[in-house]
């Protein structure tokens, strides 16, 4: 009887030790180093990537779904808040001139659309998804439909100076992710 009690208690203690919380080192060992992200506004996270010299080479902006005091259900970025964040983090004067050809054009492929805003030093890509439809099949990799045909240049913008209002709310209303990439900085993979 005593042996059975010792066996039951031992099994219980072993089970408790297995089900207790994991440590940071155990999580790192299993999943790798954590990704650093920044809370850049009430509803937006930003995750940077770095070049070999430590400068930011790419930033990803995406909806904050979980906050310290609340949970958010929205899957899209609110345009006014996003525009303010982008203008704060990458101000117009740091972008260089707008690249006139294809500025603000949208490429569509499968269930997603990419609207790009290329500047002299940096490119912004706004990414949105569409609802899945049974009417049209999904496109395969590298099959894209562009809104501006390759042989027909986009309308040139008269003013190539960057401004705080360069992004169109009509084209970016359902944006889920924004990628910002610097042309002169190559990201290093970890």
pLDDT at 141: 46
- Which residues constitute the domain of residue 175? 34-182
User: Per residue of the chain (190 residues), what is the pLDDT tens digit?
Assistant: 665 655 555 555 555 455 556 888 888 888 988 888 999 998 999 999 999 999 999 999 999 887 677 777 778 898 999 999 999 999 999 999 998 888 988 888 878 889 999 999 999 999 998 765 545 444 454 454 444 444 444 444 456 888 778 887 766 668 999 999 999 999 987 5
Domains in the chain, number: 1
In a domain, 2, yes or no: no
Do residues 121 and 57 lie in contact, with contact meaning Cβ atoms separated by under 8 Å?
no
Residue 178: φ, ψ to 5°: -125, 130
pLDDT at 10: 58
pLDDT at 169: 74
**How many residues make up the chain in this entry?**
190
In a domain, 45, yes or no: yes
Give per-residue burial for 96-127: e unless 16+ CB within 10 Å, then b: bebeeebbbbbbbbbebbbbbbbbeebbbbbb
In a domain, 19, yes or no: no
**Quick count: other Cβ atoms within 10 Å of Cβ 143?**
9
The tokens for 170 are: 């009509």
In a domain, 155, yes or no: yes
pTM over 0.85: no
pLDDT at 174: 85
pLDDT at 60: 96
Residue 61 parent element (H or E) = strand 56-63
In a domain, 58, yes or no: yes
pLDDT at 74: 75
pLDDT at 124: 95
Distance CA 184, CA 53 (A): 12
In a domain, 26, yes or no: no
Distance CA 59, CA 87 (A): 13
In a domain, 29, yes or no: no
In a domain, 7, yes or no: no
């Amino acid at each position: 009887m005593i042996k059975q009690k010792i066996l039951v208690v031992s099994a219980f203690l072993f089970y408790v030790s297995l089900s207790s919380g994991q440590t940071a080192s155990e999580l790192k060992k299993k999943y790798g180093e954590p990704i650093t992200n920044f809370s850049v506004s009430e509803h937006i996270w930003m995750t940077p990537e770095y070049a070999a010299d430590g400068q930011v080479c790419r930033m990803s902006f995406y909806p904050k779904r979980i906050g310290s005091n609340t949970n958010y259900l929205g899957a899209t970025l609110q345009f006014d808040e996003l525009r303010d964040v982008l203008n704060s983090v990458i101000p117009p004067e740091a972008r260089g001139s707008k690249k006139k050809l294809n500025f603000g054009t949208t490429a569509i492929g499968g269930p997603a659309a990419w609207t790009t805003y290329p500047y002299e030093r940096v490119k912004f890509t706004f990414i949105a998804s569409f609802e899945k439809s049974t009417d049209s099949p999904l496109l395969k990799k590298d099959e894209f439909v562009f809104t501006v045909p390759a042989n027909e240049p986009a309308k040139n913008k008269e003013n190539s100076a960057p401004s705080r209002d360069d992004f169109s709310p009509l084209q970016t209303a359902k944006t889920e992710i924004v990628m910002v990439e610097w042309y002169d900085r190559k990201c290093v993979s970890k």
